[in-house]
Amino acid sequence: MASQKSAKRGTAAPDWPAHSWSIDRWPVTIFPNSPSRARYLLREHRRELLEKGAISRVGRQLVIVGDRYLRWLEAQKGRAREFNNGAARMRSGRVARSVATTDAAPPGLPVIGEQSEER
């Protein structure tokens, strides 16, 4: 019903779950997909998640507020453009090519692209 009202105004509400869950019962269908990874994510982003109202405390237990967490997660997609991963560069071969073109190879190791004479 809320999505119908907002759709009439021209801004459709996202179709996200409006439920909540504890860290120990983290849904496998929601990133980061496991309780252990969720603990790490919450440690790293606790301040941001608190500001967005995505986590709450009930007694001694942290509770994730589903729709607010998913909105926070959706807002993170802009950070993907800034992501610079060394492993991705290695797979693309940019680092391997730059290593092969250096003049000084460590002693005893062949330079990439050279044939060994011991065959």
Q: Read off the pLDDT band of 26 (50, 70, 90).
A: very high
pTM as predicted: 0.55
Q: 95 or 48, which is more confident?
A: 48
Q: Which two tokens stand for residue 55?
A: 């986590």
Q: Read off the pLDDT band of 112 (50, 70, 90).
A: low
Report yes or no: 75 and 27 within 8 Å, Cβ to Cβ.
Answer: no
